[in-house]
Each structure stands twice: as C-alpha cells, then as structure tokens.
Amino acid sequence: MNSYRYDGAEIDSVELKALLVSRGLKVDKDVYRLFSETHRLGVDPRECNCIILSDGTIVQLTDMGFHLKYLSGILSWNNLKLLRYASKLATPFSLRVSDGKPALFYNNNYIDTISLPPPTDFYRRRTALGTRFVGNSVLQGLDWVSFQCLWPCEYAAGGRPCQFCFSGGDFETLAKKGKPLPPALDAADVGEITGYAVRELGVSGVQLTGGSTMDGKSEARHIREYLAALEGLRGEADWRGEPQGKAAATSRPPNGEPQGKAAATSRLPNGEPHDKAAAISRLPNGELQGKAAATSRLPNGEPPRTALNEILLYITPPNDRGLIDEYFALGATRVACSLELWDTELAKTVTSGKVAFTTRERHLDILAYIAEKHGPSKAFSNFIIGIEPFESLSRGAAHLAERGILPTASVWMPMGRPVLGSMTPPGVDYYRRTKELFAELYTKHRLTPPETRGLNVCIESDILRYASGG
C-alpha cells in the first residue's frame, strides 16, 4: 500500500481515497481530451468514473467542475439551495496530464500517477427491452456492477428521505410534485446488464440496492425475480464450454456444491430453467451471441471470467425472517440491512424514515439472525463515514462485529446533499481512526469483506487489504 505526503503528514492509500471521495477532484480538460476515447472516462456524472492509484486502489472520481455546473444547470429550488454551499466545495485535489500520463495533484504538488479502467461501450448500451444501461447501473472499479436504486424508496416518497441520499431526495421531490415514482427495474434488464458486465468486462460482483419499503415484503417480489435472473451467471461455464479457473475453483453456492451443478440443475417452481440472463445472451443453439462469443480476452488482457462470486443484497429488514433464508437459497451471498449511523439522536434526524418505520430494533434483530443462521460476515451494515462522531461510530461498529455482523464503510460525499446543514467532511485523522478501528475489528472477529479490487466509495475491501499487510 502506497504512502503519500499530505499537509506535512504521511498518509496511506486508504486515507487518500477517503479524502478524494469526500472532497472530489477538479479534472483538467486535457485529461478528458487525451484519455476519454482510450479509457473508461465519461463526462456524464451518471457513469461514476473512477481512478486507480499506482498501488491498485480504486477511487471514485467526482469532477467538482462538472458537479457544480450540473447543479447550476438544473434550476430547481433544491439545487439553488445546494449552490449556497458551493464555496465550501472547493477541492484542493486535481487531475492533470503530466508527462503524457494522468496524474493526481494536491494543490500544486504531485501526488501519484494514476491509471484509468479500460474503455467500454457499457454506458452506450441498451437492453433488449430498450432500457439504457446508464442511469440504471454503474461499473465500480474493475470487478463490480451496481444497481443503485432498483425500486423506489417509500420512506423518501413519504417525506422522510435520508439526508445524505441523492436518490431519496429525487423520490421526495417527485412525490411532492404529485408525479408517479419510476417503476422497479425489470428483472430481465438486471440479468442482461449484469450478464454483459460479467462476460465482457470480467465483473465478478454485483450490488443489488433498492429503496426502503414499509415491511420489506413489497420489495420481496422484485428481489426474487432479480436473483432468479442472475442464477445463470453463478459459476456458468465460459464461452469455450470449459469450467472457470479462479471463479470455478473458489465460488460455491450456499449448499456447498460446485456452482456448475447448481446452475445446471436450477429450475423455476414450474420445472422450467430460470436462466433468464443466460437465455438473453445465448443463441437458440446454446452458443453465446455476438461479441461475447468472439472475445477471448478481457480489455485488460486477462481471460474472461463468467461467474459472479458475490451477489450483495441491500434490503429493508423484513418482518418475516423466512424471506432472508429464501434470498440466500436463491443465491445472495451477503445481505445488508444498513443502519448508516449509530448515534440514535443523529439517526432520528439524518435517517428519519429508517428510525420511524423500520426501527433500530428490527435492523439489529434481522442482522443478528443472519449472522447466527448463515454465518459471520454474511450480514453486513453500512456506515456513512464522516457524519457522526468517531466515538459513536466506533461503538456501533464494535457492537455489530462482536455479533459476527460485518460493519462496512462508505465515505460520506457531502457534495450530494448537505447533512445537518453542513457540507464539510471530517479531516484525515477521522479517516485514519476509522481505518484502524475497522481493521482491528475485522482481524479480531475474523470478519471478511469481499476480496475484490475495490469499490469506488466504500473502503472495507481496502481496509481488509491494509489489515492483511497488503
């Protein structure tokens, strides 16, 4: 893991990542001019660009120049209110071209030469149903595809969005204007988008996220369909018909049987195979269609991996524990019921819908149930890093970890929406203490976040690497 100089102190890549995610960067026009054709670097903020530090750490790239233009371009009352905070959003970080390469600067001081992911047409594609990939899904780092809001948030529509949540703010605005909320994304779209990301881009993890619902039951119908649509991607043989190398060797369904067998025998209750995703990308003779069939290497030169090793489900803790068991049986590898904050008084204001409707008790009850029944690290709860005092974050993370529940860490991005009237992120010391705390908890309680090359905004996998001396 790299170390850097920052404000006269030494910081490592996890701390630098947290600083960059929370403050954003200013990206020089030359960076887009030179690299947007040859790398995955788009000007549309919905594409969630990322950069890769020279030690491989993945970091969200929020171009603050674009972000402020985006806010001022949409003349809504909400955005005008956000612009009041614009002066607080000045970032000391920038991305410029140096010696023909993209490089990171702090004020005018060089920090690191970074790289960018290989180019892809992912964001220009539509599914067979005509749904755009962009706006519904994002690639994160090199091995994740994420669906940020698969179904609407009933809490936000009811006037109780979480203060930090951009999607929640949008749902609240729509509801206030009396406009209909968007429908949930079709399962066939989820299967097709994920299938493309897995087969063409070597993605091995997917995050399925939706809004919060009143009893967790109305979302169950969607979740069942999504998991069914992904089933054919778990451990599927690659286009050569050979079992997967690393993926086949390491990934197993909850019953412990090799996934090839699981995929081969998976059936809907009516006895038909429910391999929607695989069906979409196969010709009637069973061969993969188009580019997938012709591709023998991923853009990064590695052989294709056509298996999902991680299916992360972010849900409302349901009243009915049976739903949890069903989700695992359908292929979820981990289930999150995120508390976001531990401090109860702050949570009442910042996450008022969660506190009022789902309650802290139900979150903790379901998380403990998952950990007891399905094992350590199978339940996880996200914390938004940087909103609450470190002391309460520390108590909350320890409380969960002692019960086999994985606390995960998503860096607060204040440029989204102000929280408690502030858009000021904490200093590097807060991030360092968080990193040390989570590393200690992971080690002491043998908790393991997904071993991936990293997500854009979440730092748990980076902390795991730090904890293992990597």
What are the residues binding ligand SF4 (CB under 6 A)? Answer: 153, 155-156, 161-162, 165, 167-168, 211-212, 353-354
- Give the length of the chain: 470
Closest to 138 (Cα-Cα) out of 149, 127, 130: 149
Taking the complex as a whole, the smallest distance from the CB of residue 212 to ligand SF4 amounts, in Å, to 4
Distance CA 181, CA 169 (A): 12
Distance CA 339, CA 354 (A): 8
Report the residue number whose CB is nearest to ligand SF4.
168
Taking the complex as a whole, the smallest distance from the CB of residue 164 to ligand SF4 amounts, in Å, to 7
Taking the complex as a whole, the smallest distance from the CB of residue 206 to ligand SF4 amounts, in Å, to 18
CB-nearer residue toward ligand SF4: 253 or 353: 353
Q: Rounded to 5, what percent of the chain is helix, strand, coil?
A: 40, 15, 45
- Whether the CB-CB separation of 69 and 82 falls below 8 Å is answered with no
In this structure, the strands spanning 205-209 and 138-140 are: unpaired
- Whether the CB-CB separation of 26 and 91 falls below 8 Å is answered with yes
CB-nearer residue toward ligand SF4: 96 or 160: 160
CB-nearer residue toward ligand SF4: 42 or 416: 416
Taking the complex as a whole, the smallest distance from the CB of residue 166 to ligand SF4 amounts, in Å, to 8
Taking the complex as a whole, the smallest distance from the CB of residue 468 to ligand SF4 amounts, in Å, to 30
CB-nearer residue toward ligand SF4: 13 or 213: 213
Taking the complex as a whole, the smallest distance from the CB of residue 382 to ligand SF4 amounts, in Å, to 9
Distance CA 109, CA 96 (A): 11
Distance of CA 30 to the CA centre of its chain: 29
Q: Give all strands (DSSP E) within 151-297, no chain letters.
A: 205-209
Taking the complex as a whole, the smallest distance from the CB of residue 161 to ligand SF4 amounts, in Å, to 4
CB-nearer residue toward ligand SF4: 331 or 353: 353
Taking the complex as a whole, the smallest distance from the CB of residue 83 to ligand SF4 amounts, in Å, to 22
Closest to 449 (Cα-Cα) out of 408, 394, 411: 408
- Whether the CB-CB separation of 457 and 61 falls below 8 Å is answered with no
Alpha-carbon separation of residue 219 from 124, 151, 152, 368 (angstroms):
29, 7, 9, 21
CB-nearer residue toward ligand SF4: 156 or 346: 156
- Whether the CB-CB separation of 363 and 391 falls below 8 Å is answered with no
CB-nearer residue toward ligand SF4: 222 or 354: 354
In this structure, the strands spanning 205-209 and 310-314 are: parallel
CB-nearer residue toward ligand SF4: 72 or 344: 344
